[in-house]
A and B are shown apart, each in its own frame.
Chain A
Amino acid sequence: MTEASTVSQGGIPVLDAATRARIQRSKELYPSARSAVLPALWAVQDQLGFLVPEGLAEVAVELGLEPSEVEAVSTFYSMYFQHQPGRHLIQVCRNVSCGLRGSDDLLRHLETSLGVEDGETTEDGVFTLEGTVECLGGCGGAPMMQVDRYSYENLDAEKADQILADVRARPAPSSGAATDA
């Protein structure tokens, strides 16, 4: 019996073939299989939108770890979602360089225009809005935000609204790396 089928005994596998192949490739890339945990979690999140517990269990089997070990890693990193976020994640940087150039106003504007508070998801499930204290490396274009981890800089209210209107019209993104490793 292969290890993978042990999982399917407990339930229907949630990871599709492409995700499994990604995890397998990562596993082969590193001198130690355990190093593939982070890339594997990205792969799970890309497919399912967040870290579904059954997905974590499958990762554990693939990499020969305990599910609790994989879970402990997953909760350490802020970019892994433990719950389903909106289709697009907006992060407004509120660190110093952005704060000096109006990030608080930008966040307040987006709260009003999207009708949500910091940390909430719009009713239609399209956007999750977050003000973040992490500097997102766009201080040269402050104030800035990331949408699905892509940066948009030198923002004002009008420009931010326009960007979100464009994003809204696009299909759902994948959250992970473009090419996996």
Chain B
Amino acid sequence: MPEVKVLTRHLGAEGLTTLAGYERVGGYQALKKALTMGPEAIFAEVKASGLRGRGGAGFPTATKWSFLPQGVFPRYLCVNADESEPGCFKDRYLLEEFPHQLLEGVMICAYALQVSHAFIYIRGEYRAQRELLDKAVAEAYQAGFAGQGILGQDWNCELIVHGGAGAYICGEETAMLDSLEGLRGQPRLKPPFPAIKGLYGQPTVVNNVETLSNLPYIISEGGAKYAAMGTESSPGSRLFCVSGHVERPGNYEIAMGRTTFRELLEMAGGVWRGRGIKAMQPGGGSMQILGPQHLDLAIDFKAVADAGSALGAGALVIMDETTCLVNVSMRLVDFYEHESCGKCVPCREGTYFESELMHRLEAGLASTAELATLADICANMDGRCFCLLGDTATWFVMSAYKMFPEEFQRHCGAGHCPVRAELERVA
């Protein structure tokens, strides 16, 4: 059975978004336990859990924490709730259904790292979720889980919700730090990494909402139990967002490494309208395309990397046999063009030309020679941009071109989208 319940184990309990409801299912017991364990023992449990970041890069959480220099204070924690990756809606779900589980995880982390302030950076578009979060934070303060003298101990930590204002790049951790400091949200040069010199120049950890939401379980049940749900290379469980051409789009929690894409697709009711699958994207808009031949791959960091893609932020987008991959590529390229922060030339100029060209191609106006230009532009971007946004702006389109070269070629000089034209003829 690939479905497991860690993050979603309390789903359906009454009043879960309120403090009282969360406490009824044992909420905040893990924080109390953590305070008796002390920072080192918490760190050991997180290490044993094998938890890897859920924000995109999959970086081992305990390792990231260990980079904080000894004895340098104040330190800060930034919780990444900027979720804007195309295809992603899991952090939103965690905020809507389990806001206190997140806050408990945040405070466990804050205690383990002895930070003075924990900031939750939530995207401006999540207005309803922000309202819920603000209520939960107020309740946590009232109950003595945040603020001064937390749970009667000599420990202080402020919990601050910070709203973004519409910029995908602010999900990139160093851009987020600049945005939090009241600047334009543009990435910083690394190194120094945030752990050494982050918010206000102080040691800082940035972790994703889902990453931290796992902590209450890990502390109450033990890291080893969490790890054992998954496999050695992909420990624990994970929330996966499934969208696109499926019968039941939504969030599904799965055992990492033990679940295949086919099984996840089945959980979501299979491809809609009884159709076949043409392609899928396994990790959100930034990741490379996979085909039906990859359906039996395990949802495992290594297996997916070996297949030439990545699990990214945990979003599976299914495209049925009627899909035009040129059209999908154009949408993604438009997104990156819009979200390029403008700091570096390869990305700012590259995404502009990429987008121009994709629009001509989609309309059937580009020539075959322009296809070579597209590949050229992308080759000049990938690996040459200041941050990953520019690199990833080429990954889907280039992988789709490689997997479906004839589909791209057929658009050249056709005067229209040949895939759509065919569909209309059949209909």
Contacts and interface: CB of A to CB of B under 8 A. Distances in A.
Asked if A pairs with B, the answer is yes
Interface of A: 29-32, 34-39, 41-42, 63, 72-73, 76-80, 94-97, 99-101, 133-142, 146, 148-151, 176-179, 181
Contact of B285 (A31, A95, A148, A149): A95
B193 interface: no
A35 B160 CA distance: 11
Interface stretch (B1-9, B324-332, B368-376): B324-332
7 contacts: A30-B160, A80-B165, A100-B243, A137-B84, A137-B91, A149-B124, A179-B131
B88 A73 contact: no
Given A29-B160, A77-B166, A150-B128, A96 B332 contact: yes
B210 to A, nearest CB: 13
Nearest to B244: A100
Q: Identify the 5 closest CB pairs spanning chains A and B, nearest first.
A: A79-B166, A77-B165, A37-B182, A78-B166, A34-B182
Contacts of B244: 96-97, 100-101, 139, 142
A135 B328 CA distance: 13
A134 B339 contact: yes
A41 B166 CA distance: 13
A177 B125 CA distance: 10
A9 to B, nearest CB: 26
Given A77-B164, A97-B86, A97-B87, A140 B185 contact: no
Contact of B164 (A38, A72, A73, A146): A38
A73 B339 CA distance: 15
Interface of B: 74, 83-89, 91-92, 117, 123-128, 130-131, 134, 138, 158, 160-168, 179-185, 200, 241-245, 249-251, 281, 285, 315, 317, 319, 323, 327-328, 331-332, 334-335, 338-339, 341
Contact of A41 (B162, B165, B183): B165
Contacts of A77: 124, 164-167, 185
A117 B31 CA distance: 52
Contacts of B84: 134-135, 137
Given A135-B88, A142-B249, A96 B331 contact: yes
Contacts of A181: 134, 160-163
Contacts of B331: 94-96, 99, 133
A140 B251 contact: yes
A140 B74 CA distance: 40
Nearest to A95: B86
Nearest to A29: B160
A181 to B, nearest CB: 5
A141 B166 CA distance: 21
A146 B166 CA distance: 13
Contacts of A101: 244-245
